[in-house]
């Protein structure tokens, strides 16, 4: 299993700072095709998708990244995705993302819930409610 962390991946030179948010069971989405493939996979496996629209420069996103990763390790019956709003600008705009982080909860590709902001207790609450609604499929 992966480790949960947000790590500065810059080499100390004058390059832009890059922070790695991925770990645990979080899947990084880098294209619309990747998104479509992950949603198809989730639908096939009967998984609810949690899509985290985030940004490397976003302080609250960085703060929440290890927690999001830990959740992904605890709840394998859910699919955790990470979308960088700067990397997929048009795609993020199509989802009407106006702030980071924004979490979308999807079932069969359809939005069933949404959370805007780095609110750990609310994110946990929404995940618990989803798991409860899934009943016996809960792990």
> So which residues are the catalytic ones?
58, 61
**Residue 69 token pair:** 């990763």
How far apart, in Å, are the Cα atoms of 61 and each of 40, 56, 97, 139? 26, 7, 14, 26
**Residue 99 token pair:** 């702030």
- Give the other-Cβ count within 10 Å of 47's Cβ: 22
Residues 37, 135: Cα–Cα separation, whole Å? 26
Q: Cβ neighbours of residue 53 under 8 Å, at least 6 residues apart?
A: 83, 85, 92, 95, 97, 100, 101, 102, 103, 104
Beta-bridge partners for 20: 7
């Amino acid at each position: 299993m992966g480790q949960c962390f947000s790590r500065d991946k810059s080499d100390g030179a004058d390059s832009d700072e890059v922070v790695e948010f991925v770990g645990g069971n979080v899947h990084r989405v880098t294209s619309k095709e990747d998104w479509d493939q992950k949603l198809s996979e989730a639908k096939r496996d009967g998984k609810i998708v949690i899509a985290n629209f985030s940004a490397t420069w976003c302080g609250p996103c960085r703060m929440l990244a290890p927690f999001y990763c830990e959740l992904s390790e605890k709840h394998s019956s859910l699919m955790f995705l990470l979308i960088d709003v700067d990397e997929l600008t048009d795609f993020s705009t199509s989802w009407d993302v106006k702030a980071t982080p924004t979490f979308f909860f999807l079932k069969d590709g359809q939005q069933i819930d949404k959370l805007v902001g780095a609110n750990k207790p609310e994110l946990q609450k929404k995940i618990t409610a989803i798991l409860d609604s899934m009943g016996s499929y809960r792990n």
